[in-house]
Structure 1
Amino acid sequence: MLIVCIDSCLSLWMYTLLCSALQHWNRVLSSTITPRVLPAPELKQTTRTRDRVVLICQAPEGHLGTNFTLFRDQKPVASVVNQHGTETAQYTVTVGGGGLYCCLYQNNHGVYSGFSQYLTLNTQQHMLPAPTLSLQEDAGGVRRLACTGSAAFPGSVFSLYQPYQVDGGGPLLLLPTDPTATQRIPVTRHHAVFPLPVQEGPSATWYRCQYTVLLGQDWSFSEHSQPLAVSTPRGPTPPSTTGLSGVDWPLVLGSISAVVMFCCALALVGVIAYRKVQAVAKEKKKREEAQFWTKVRAKDHVVDYTLRPVSLDCQDWADTSTVPRTPLWNALSTFATQISL
């Protein structure tokens, strides 16, 4: 019986060890073997001018591609190669001719991804009215760029571009593929305000903006605004001399509030001190009146009990009925008066 038990225990132990080893090797092989197909990328349209469209092929998060290929009607038309690997690739496509576009990417192991979904270009014949780009500056010196679109298309998506200057000083600019900033505004507005990007160097920087609107199921693009040159300020902004526009109202109101609070506190202290003085004076007056009445009452109870001797003869004593019975002293009198008979 003991031998059978030992054999059974050893068999169970070896079986468990063998299963663990197989699971470990399965995990190792799963982590080292490259999958046959990578996740498909996403193809989207970003910007548009009158005669060209910019497309972006973006790989899923965590995946890098060394070769991105764009297809039109199942035929390769453009390719972007990056030996270090990247998540996105950009293509500039000429508007016209229609067609369906898709893309895929290849990683550094030579494995391809699946095809992206097909994309139909927005080939609108008429661009939306161009917006207006202006520079705004408040009293504190903060500068912003305001892009105002058509009031007929509220709730648009506004994009700010910092074009590349290609002619050395003129307004001939080449738009970049990626916007510097993008902002979607509420349906109650038709303009967007962008903080001015940090500028490097004393030379002027050019800016343009554009807005897009979702009409039905398609995005409609506007013309780009006229280029706006913004120079770096050389020094502090001088104070305004046009009336009270440069007054620091928060500081003024704060000072006035402090003065009012100080006056209220001073008046409260004065009222408390006055009431205290009045209470002390009233208490003193009560003490003086009490002392006065104490003295008066003391004088009212002083009575002279001294009587002069009176001699009466026998006749007087005999005829006492004729003598009026007058008390010798009045107990209610306040004066010490001697009585003479």
Structure 2
Amino acid sequence: MLVYRYNLSLWILAVLTRYLQLWDVACSESIPPAPLLTLTSSVETAVQCKLVMVCRAPEGHGGTLFRLNRVKELVANVTFQTERQQAHFTLQMKDPSAQNDLYCCLYQNGQGKYSHYSPYLNLDRQVSPQFPPSPLLSVEPPSGQVRHGQMLSFHCTSPPSQHNLKPEAFLLLRTAKSTGGSMVHAQASLVSRSSAPTGAFSLGPVREAEGGSYTCLYQVTVAQQGLVNSTVSCPVLITVTEVLPAPTLSLDNQKGEWVLTCSGSPSYPGARFYLYRSGSANPEATRVAPLTRHRALFALSSLPPQESGVLEGYQCQYSVLLGTEWSHSERTQTLNVPGVTEQIPFSSSSSTEQTGFDWPLVLGVLSALVLFLTAVAIMGVTMWRKVKAVLQEKRKREVSQLWAKRQQSDHVVDLTLKRISITSQDWGMEERTEEMSRRSHSTFGRTPFY
């Protein structure tokens, strides 16, 4: 009996142990596996330090939410609409000592289950041959603002290598324009590859879609690792603007006051105009034209005073908001203005304001009036001739109708025949009547005339 109870207890213990093992396996299988956190690139300069890390889930797994922690503190998180296998995190390091901290990540799948934490990643500030130092990227023009159709020149320069590594190739990368408010690193696309030792790139004629952030890196061959990419350079922002026609700048006198008139293209009314002194990068004055005009006036009295007898050069420029980007025109040629504006001879426009007569305008009005009167006279004569011809035609028709009626009335003959019955007595009577008629005619024929 005791042996039976002992065997029963061993069997229950074995069953319970197996059940706990299966439960542990089932629980572990319900938790997604841990991801892997790696450092893809780092930019370390005197101005900024930027790190780009990737949290990648194992094959066959993905997440809609990725979290990046520094030790136990949440640093950033990224959400997606559908499950993704990896997420990029870009960190701006303000404190260089923070790079020695430990970082880890995890993800949440579509069922709402969190994975295990990834192994900690220790960021060492010292650069190793695995990640060669970042190069320096420069662009011409230095401002990064280029008009549509112009050329861009990039120069990617590698720093001196402590490991005697010679760059074998340079890569120029471009990322989309930043939308702001996101720590996700935008996927860069390869623009050009150069095997020249200087790392020179020429891009163009550029289009509006080619604007954005440009970076570069170089490739070196490291022993036991092969071809290795360096960390990316600091980004350079390129802005592509539309081509605006150059404005014109003139000096005019309006109502006794000297003004500088900057006229832009009539196709862009309501533009923003800037007035510069020659050689100055900052505008002296800014004007916004009305929505119905394409020019702006700058009164010389509102500008800083000039020295007497000294020529001062001015230039103007205008900008137009096309979509979401401001497009700028070129500056005008320098217009020299004397320090004492009273010594400037009046132009035709100012002389007209003094005399009160604008002879070109008067002659134009008189010419228009003469042409108008001539046109009215020609139209009157033409209409009078047409009316006269119509009246004559009407009169001819009336006369012809009248003669037609007269002719019809003169030729009407009544040919109605009446039946007459004559007897023998009437026949004799008729003969006697004719005889008497002849006698009477003969008698009157011999009567003398007085």
TM-score greater than 0.5 by the shorter chain: no
> Per chain length, whose mean CA-contact separation is higher, i.e. which structure has more relative contact order (CA < 8 Å, sep 6+)?
1
What is the TM-score with the length of structure 1 in the denominator? 0.40
Q: Normalising by structure 2, what TM-score? A: 0.32
